[in-house]
Structure formats: structure tokens, C-alpha cells
Structure 1
Amino acid sequence: MANLLKSFQLWNARRRMHAMRADFYFDLSISLEDQVPIFNAIKKYESRARRRDPAMAPLYFEMLRNVREGSLAGAMQGIGTPVERIILDAIQTGNDKVLADGLRHLSSVVEDTDAMLATVRKAITYPLILVVLFSAMITAFSLFAVPVLEQLMHPDKWPLMGRGLYFVSKVIRNFGIFILLGAIGLVMLFIWALPNWTSPMRRRLDKFLPFSMYRDYNGALLVVALAAMMRANISIRAALERAIKFASPWMRWHLRQILRRLATVDSVAFGTAFQTGILSTAIEDRIEDASERSNPVESFVKIGNSAIARTSKSMEKSAGLLNAILLALCGMALLFMMAGFFTTAFELQNGIRAQSTRGR
């Protein structure tokens, strides 16, 4: 029980550190600029946490062990994203000035990427909530409203839209729990597939929503990470090999293809090697153009510096499109449900009037 509680506290501490990691990188860069070693700075944070926030102290102690072993990237395991750890792994091999500049740059990258994620979450949260509410409404409608109409009039006498509503109601009443479990399973499978599924079919699906949003986001982060390593005078091939160490199976699959393309005889410029489907078409074109410049490394770094801002705008548009699609689907389903209910109610009313007239 004690171990379980300790694991939960460490998980919660990592979650809190993840939210404030941009400030953490920035503070470390200032310490290095003031000639304070990273180990001493984190030791100070750990000592301060023991007095002010004991729940964070074990995390800082764990980070100190990794830093003592010379791995700042290892210290951020479970806290920073894989791309952040790729950058940390590259810049920690340089001197204090390189490391300080890299940490300051990483702090701004984290702020930009978190802002991009917040924009996307905000854009798709409303339609997802709407889908959940609509699903609850149509379930309640099927369980309570439709059975009442069924008692008043046999479904064979319902109008076409009403019979369609009755069919949906019967499916929900008989198989609703299986539909719910299937939907949850599909969501879990989709979440698992994003970083793990690799195949030619996945490459084709990455061109379309919602897979394209994942591709654009991670592709932009990869370009930022490679640009940061190239700024630290690491070759493109060495940067890609470093990236493989922290990459997800999906990204690792693409990175190995890029490395194979770079190794081919006909790959004179590195630009075309990146056309594996991991990047958006716009970034692929920019990298191909950069490879043909007089200073391709400098041009690549410029692309990396602007990748987040440009991808953020692109993802905002994609999220808006996804928002519109979900809203349209919910609207059509709601229209179908209302049309089925009111046409059936109108038919029922006409039947009651006809019976009343015959009774006279």
C-alpha cells in the first residue's frame, strides 16, 4: 500500500512538473548563465521542496540521480515530451553556454507547443461535448419517449421517418451497451494507434483528419528538434539517429526511412529524404528548397524556428474543420430524430381525430 501511495505521489509530481516545465527550463538556463551547475540548481529545488512542498521532493531527488549520471534527458523521463528529451540529449553534450542557450530556446518551444495544443483542445472540446450530450439525449429518447408512442400506435402505422426512429430506438434498447463498449474500444484503439500503428495504410490515412492533426503536430516538433540539434553543430544524420532513441514506434518508422533515403546514392540533397509522410506537404517543400540553398543547415534551422507558429495556424484550421464536421453530423442526427418524433406524433393525432369522428 505504501509503495502504491508513493507511486501515485511521484506520478502526480510528474504531472505538475509537466505543466510548469517551460519555467523549469528557463530557470535552469538562468542558473547556467550565472555559472551555477545544473546539479546544484536542482539540489536547491529539492531542498526547497522538502520545506514547502514535500510531495515534489521525491521527483527532484530522482532527477538528481539522473543528472549525476550525466543525463538531463533521463531526468525528464515521464515529464517532458519525447521531442523535448531529444533536444535535451543533444544540447547536454555541449558546454554550459550551449546548454543554457538550448534550455532557453527549449523553454520558448514548450510555451509555443503548449499554446498550440490548447488551441486545438479548445476547438474540438465543444463538438465532443455536444456529441456526448446528443448521445445521452437520443438514448433517453429511445428508452422513454419512443416506447410511449409505441403503446399508443403500432410501429407498422408510423410514417417513414417515424419507422426509422423506431429502428434506431430498437437498436439502442437491444444493443446499446454493446454499442457503448464498442465506441469506447474504438476510442482506445485510435489513441493507441496514433503513436504505434505503422503501415502503408497508415501513411495514406495520415493525409486525412483526424490522423493528419497528429502528423502535423509531431512532424513540426521533429523539425524543431532537428533544427535545435543542427544549431548545436550536430549533423543531420546524427540528429536523426539521436531522435530514434526517444521516438514513438510511428515516428521511429519514419526516421529509419529517412535515414535509408539519406544513405542512397541518388540522394544528393537531403530535402527529398524527408518525404516519407511524417511532415505536411508545406514543410516537405520548404525542406526540399532549403536543401538546395548555399547554406542548407542555416535554412533548415530557420524552418525549425517558424515551424510551430505555422503549424499552429494549420492545426487551428484543421480543428475548425473537424469542429464543423462533428456539428453537421450532430445537426443532421438531431433533425432526423425530431422529424421522426413529430411526424409520428402528427400521425397519432390524426388517428385519434379519425377515431373520434367515427365515434360520433
Structure 2
Amino acid sequence: MNLMQAVQSAWVWVQLLEFRSKRDEFYIQLAKSIERRERLRTFLVEEQKIAKARATRDSSREFAMQRMLAKLSQGQDFRISQILAEVMPREDKLMLSAVDQSKDKPETLRSLVTAIREQKQAKALIVKAMFPPMVMLPGVFIFSYILATQSIPVISKIAPPEVWTPYNAAVRDFSQHVANHGFKVLGALAALVAYVGYQMPRWKGVWRGRIERIPQGMGLLIFPVFPIALPLSIYRDFQVSLLLTSLAVLLKSGSTLTGALDSLRSTAQPWMQWHLRRVSRHLYVAPTEYVEAFAKGLLSPKLLARLATTIRNDSRFDRVLIELGTQGIGEVRKEIEKTSKGLNTMLLIAAAACVLFLYVGQLSIAQSMTDALDPVNKMKQY
């Protein structure tokens, strides 16, 4: 992809951003249109008129209608999923293919709306939990940097040697490191976070699976020395929420389990492809060992226990997965919320500890210097 194509793709993404955020409303309207036996072209034309009208202006929606109508105007016999794929995000495309296969397209579209709203709630939980530390950490760095470069160095220049107790010396040395290497360390951390974020959907293998199976409580305990466990756990649970809702939509539309897994794997990210390949491989060898197939790191222990319990009450595994993708997804959200809050707490504690260390250190150095320069204390030394 050359630069011009990249810029054009970015511009299309920006123009569709608002429409995609409210696409669940569009799906509901489309379901009603299909129930009225309205032609898709007529529906899109009328919706474009509404979005274009001055009183109901919506430029993002108008742009989306325009792109879908342009696809229709090519004259080929396109399916609904192919038309909507022009404007919808990647995660919807597989579920939209279920609409093509479904005998009850309006009901499948409504199931898709439920899945999208579940996904939005999961994303909102992560954003809500991570917002406080993301706002607080830059302020902590600025405050620490000012203390380390302005206040403590001034005192250090005039303080006598007896001021530098082990604690005060540790504060002074830490301040010097912040002053000399603070921005370098901050840049390195930002690069590391970006790299981890980039690798999240791509890194796969046995070690990734082992880390994801670390219990949440253990992940909190080892966070100071091994911080990657909690983010991987949150990512795993969030992706599982997307997987279960997508599976529920596909299975409700009449797809088989193996067909649904193959469809999801065809466009999934490498990490999910790896997991789904392991599930499919196990089911091919042992078609009835459902719990064992999903017990290789994809599902959390609690969700796996829910799966095993549900299977005991229903021999149809497709119905079990549909139940997990509709009712059981609430448990996944609770896991996401709990882990996100744990990570939030650890980050806030680390930030508060840094500020407290420097602030108390500044007070300690100032008090030690006051005591050292006190004439009475000086006379006692002779």
C-alpha cells in the first residue's frame, strides 16, 4: 500500500467512525426494513436522503449510505454481507455472513445487535477501569520530575555531609536518575507499551498460553516483577467475549460448530487463529470432548467451569455455546472488570508510592539539613 492509499484509507476510517459507533441502530432499522419486504436499494436511498437533509444532517451516515449504494450500482448480485462490509468494522463481517445464511434475517440482525452491545459494554469496562491511571500517571511524572530537578538538587548543593542518611541519599540518587534519564525511561516505557499492544493479537505459542492461565490473584502479586500477566488476562477475556457472541450469532443462524469455528478462524488475528486451530484439532480427534478442547488456555477457569456445568444439563453443545454467548457473557464481563480494576489499583499504588517517596524524602532532607545547621547541634559536636 502506497502513501496515497494509506491516507485515503485513513480518511475513510475517520468519516465512518461516527456511523460505526452507532451501527447497532442501523442494523435494527435494516431488520425492520427486511420485515417490510423493502428492497435494500430503496432502504439505503431513503436513509441517505434523511442523513443528507438539513434538519437531520448526519455526514458520517450519509457517507456510509453512499459507499453501500456505490457497491450496489456495480450491477452484480451482491449478498447483504458484501454490501455492508463496505462500511462496517472487521469484527462484524463474519457475523454478517451469518445473515446471508440465515432463514430469519431480521432475527439474526437483532442477535448481531445484542452481540455488538455486549462488546461495547466490555470495552467500556476496560476504558472505565484504565482511565484514572492514564490521567494520573502523566501528572505523577511531571510532579516527580519537578521535585527531582528543581527542589531536591537545590538542597543537595548546600546540605552538609551528615544530612545524607541512607534514606536521604536514596532519594537524592533517585532524583538524579530522574533528572538525567527520566525522559529516556518514559520514552522507552511508551515504546514498550506500544510494542506489547502491537504483539497482543500476534504473539502465540505455548508460553503465551501458560502466562494467560496464571490466576488473577497470582497476577496481582507478581505484577511488580512480571507486569505482563494482567494485561494478557484482560486481552484474553475481552477476545473471548467477542468470540462467544460471534459464535452465538453464527450458531443461531444454523451454522455447525466446526463451520462456525472455521469461519471465525479465517479472518481472526494470529493469536485467536492459533487458539481456534487447537480447539478444532482436538474436536476432530475427540468430537465429544468439548470441555477439553476449550481448556487449552482460551477460556478462563470460571468460564470453563460454567461450560462444564452447562454441558451436564444440555447434551447439545451448540445450545450450550449459544447460552454462553448470550447469558454467560455477563460472567466474562465481570472477569474483565475485576482484572481491570486490579491493574488499575496496582498502577495507582505504584504512582502514589513514587510521589510519596520523593515528597517525604524532600521533607526528610530539609529537616535533616535544618538539624545539621542548627547552632545548638553544632556546638554539641565540639
Superposition pairs for residues 240-251 of structure 1, below 5 Å? 240-251=261-272
1:86-105 Cα deviation digits (max 9, x unpaired): 2111222224xx22111112
Displacement of 1:182 in angstroms is 0.3
Q: CA deviation at 1:184?
A: 1.1
Amino acid at match of 2:33: S
Number of the residue aligned with 2:222: none
Structure 1 residue 49 displacement after superposition: 3.4
Q: Counterparts in 2 of 1:130-279, with a 5 A limit?
A: 130-153=136-159, 157-207=163-213, 208-264=229-285, 266-279=286-299
Q: 1:154 to 1:87 in 2, by over 3 A?
A: farther
CA contact (8 A) 2:148 2:178 kept: yes
Distance 1:259 1:4 in 2: 36
Q: In the TM superposition, what is the alpha-carbon distance from 1:307 to its structure 2 partner?
A: 3.0
Report the counterpart of residue 351 of structure 1 in structure 2: 372
Instruction: Mark the CA change 1:66 to 1:101 in structure 2 (over 3 Å): closer, same or farther.
Output: farther
How much has 1:186 moved relative to structure 2? 0.9
1: CA distance between counterparts of 2:59 and 2:4? 16
**Which has the higher mean CA deviation after the structures are superposed, 15-24 or 123-132?**
123-132
Normalising by the residue count of structure 2, what TM-score does the alignment of the two structures yield? 0.84
- Aligned residues of 1:91 and 1:102 also touching (Cα < 8 A): yes
Cα distance change, pair 282–77 in 1 and its aligned pair in 2 (3 A): farther
Map 1:62-141 to 2 at 5 A. 62-65=67-70, 69-70=78-79, 72=81, 75-76=84-85, 79-82=88-91, 84-95=92-103, 98-141=104-147
Partner of 1:306: 327
Partner Cα separation in structure 1 for residue 9 and residue 236 of structure 2: 32
2:29 aligned counterpart, secondary structure = helix
Residue 145 of structure 2: SS of its match in structure 1?
helix
CA distance in 2, matches of 1:177, 1:77: 43
Distance 1:317 1:69, change over 3 A: same
What root-mean-square deviation, in Å, do the aligned CA atoms of Structure 1 and Structure 2 show?
Answer: 2.8
Distance 1:259 1:73, change over 3 A: farther
- Aligned partner of 1:60 among 44, 65, 87: 65
Unpaired runs of 5+ in structure 1?
Answer: none
C-alpha displacement of 1:69: 2.8
C-alpha distance 74-322 of structure 1, shift in aligned 2 (>3 A): farther
Q: Which runs of 5+ in 2 are unaligned?
A: 214-228
What is the CA distance between 1:181 and its match in structure 2? 1.5
Q: Helix, strand or coil: the match of 2:101? A: coil
Contact 1:31 / 1:41 at 8 angstroms: preserved in 2?
Answer: yes
- In 2, the alpha carbon distance for the partners of 1:350 and 1:164 equals 19
Between the aligned residues of both structures, percent identity stands at 22
Contact in 2 for aligned 1:198/1:250 (Cα 8 Å): yes
Superposition deviation, residue 222 in structure 1: 0.7
Query: Secondary structure of 1:209's partner?
Result: helix
Q: Give the TM-score normalised by the residue count of structure 1.
A: 0.89
What is the DSSP-based 3-state SS (H/G/I as helix, E as strand, rest coil) of the residue aligned with 1:212?
helix
